[in-house]
Structure 1
């Protein structure tokens, strides 16, 4: 006989110790009896038979699922209608002037507003789906007497862990949502984000994709953008400084530049496609012992200031040469 006693085997639960179908039915019946609005009413339709609470609870679960799906579809349709109405707006550039370019700009602005509205609508639809379906499933689990407290606790702990691990991602998403809501920039805009300057090619809730003048593509996380300079929103301004000799006649130079401004405004191609209003001559911008600097400024349509400025330089140079007035380098 061995001196060491063998350890007693761990008890294995038998089938008799597991909850029986009758016990589960009893739990469901107790839940059904507490629901005097729907489940108990359905059970009464079956003359309160022994199986009535179970059948009534199953019908209640089915109705909850159907109700959740219906509510989700209604909310998604409401979001779609709000997005469609938000995307429609009246002409904006027509308040400046009439013309084919104004209509083209209005079309671009509407398309930009439509893209922004659809992006926000997609985000709202995802959030609505998660909230409604999640609430529906938790209600069904509670109806089936499945304890949801441990599940909620686990989800809460998991959410805290994910929140700590994905702080930058959440920051990018929140910044992207506010950027879209405030319409800070959109596809096709020329912006300065500090880290890069270029044309926006794509905007998502997480990143913004830019292409600079060298063709280099930049991917910038929305959460890292602290300031944005948009050169394509509303209108832009082109200007050029004209340095002439100190001995030049101020009136003659000013009249010459005003003539250039009237000439480019009279050009149908520029007036209809690039300019918002007639260019202005602001007079002497700088004065030194050897140079007079005149400034010529023009308000242009978005992202057209560079082309207008180039045309102004050509016309001013030709006008000065014709008047035998030399431009001098500035210090």
Structure 2
């Protein structure tokens, strides 16, 4: 008997809720010619409609998020800034893969957030339609949220920092970065931690929220440079011609031009003056993380060229 009274009570409350809704529920009631059972059926139809609309909005939001994230992750080609060759094509391939991975990660996170917000709102609306009081539930969730916020604020900070790091493409797997606490190659990136391996093989786990600045040696392009100290009495023009010949020589070498160097090397001229030496600088833009190989080759070729021109170098300058 009490169960019947509870059912009648719920039915009456649903009818009252339906009467207060003059848009959807009221329209359905009029369709059933204001029958006694019409408010109950109209409420159930409204609940189904709310769920259907919620899933439709969720799917639309997922499509919109995917489109926006993919568009934001698309950047300009390096071939627009440097002379087109195999090296710049290789950089474009790497950047495209990085953008794809970043888009997939950010899209997954944003789609989960959208699903929670949309379906959570729909669930609360359905509970309200079923005359289940949601005020205590909202109060409990609010108190729980505050408690979790105080207890896990460092975790939340890490997640927020990780999201912005991925969205801005600050670094990715394979990059050589200086994260302050450690310098090394990125082996894994999550929303909470970044895993690095340094030159000694040591693995570092760094919380994203603790990273205040990042130096990325592998993004876009790198620069190899070499300072060449020669005696103070050396002829500046002769030294510059020798270094420019080295720059032309390495740029013409297919091994370096097609796989390492993305722009013609430059000779800056006299970079420093001291009481014992003139310091010239030669630089070359390279593929990410290939600057060390190019610098080693520059040292070898510069040494050979200077010896051939009978120009000595100043030690310790």
After superposition, give the CA deviation of every residue in 1:60-93 in whole Å (9 maximum; x if it has no partner).
Answer: 2122112212221221122223334445555333
Larger radius of gyration: 1
Deviating more after overlay: 18-27 vs 210-219: 18-27
The equivalent of 2:255 in structure 1 is 269
Matched pairs, number: 317
Deviations 1:146-193 (A, max 9, x none): 111000000000000000111111111111222222222222222111
Q: What is aligned with 2:211? A: 225
TM-score, normalised to structure 1, is 0.88
Superposed, which structure 2 residues align to 1:229-308 within 5 Å? Answer: 229-308=215-294
CA contact (8 A) 1:86 1:114 kept: no
Q: Deviation at 1:46?
A: 2.9
Pairwise CA distance, 1:281: 2.5
Q: 1:62 to 1:289 in 2, by over 3 A?
A: closer
C-alpha contact (below 8 Å) 1:235/1:302 kept by paired residues: yes
Does the CA contact (< 8 Å) of 2:263 and 2:286 recur in 1?
A: yes
Aligned to 1:111: 97
Q: How far is the alpha carbon of 1:302 from its aligned partner?
A: 2.3
Greater RCO, CA 8 A, separation 6+? 2
Q: How far, CA to CA, are the matches of 2:7 and 2:288 in structure 1?
A: 73
Question: Do residues 175 (structure 1) and 154 (structure 2) align?
Answer: no
Is 1:203 aligned to 2:189, yes or no?
yes
Q: Could you tell me how far apart the structure 1 residues matched to 2:232 and 2:31 are?
A: 104
Structure 1: stretches of 5+ with no match in the other structure: 1-14
The 10-residue stretch of structure 1 (301-310 or 286-295) with the greater mean CA deviation from structure 2: 286-295
Give a deviation string over 1:200-254, Cα, whole Å, max 9, x none: 2222221222222222222211111111111122322211122233444444333
By how many angstroms is 1:268 displaced?
2.1
Mapped pair 1:310 → 2:312:
no
2:154 counterpart SS class: helix
Whether the 8 Å CA contact 1:239–1:296 is kept in 2: the answer is yes
Query: Cα RMSD over matched residues?
Result: 2.2
Asked if residue 100 in structure 1 is aligned to residue 86 in structure 2, the reply is yes
Cα distance change, pair 188–17 in 1 and its aligned pair in 2 (3 A): closer
Indicate how the Cα distance of structure 1 residues 25 and 17 shifts in structure 2: closer, same or farther if over 3 A, else same. Answer: closer
Contact persistence 2:95–2:220 (CA under 8 A): no
Q: Residues 278 and 41 (structure 1 numbering): CA distance in 2 closer, same or farther, change over 3 Å? A: closer
Is the contact between residue 15 and residue 40 of structure 2 (CA under 8 Å) also seen in structure 1?
A: yes
Where do residues 145-156 of structure 1 align in structure 2 (5 Å cutoff)?
A: 145-156=131-142
Displaced runs of 4+ in structure 1, greater than 6 A?
none
2:8 is equivalent to residue 22 of structure 1 = yes
Partners of 2:267 and 2:73 in 1: how far apart? Answer: 39
Structure 2 counterparts to residues 120-159 of structure 1, below 5 A: 120-159=106-145
Taking structure 2 as the reference length, what is the TM-score of the superposition? 0.91
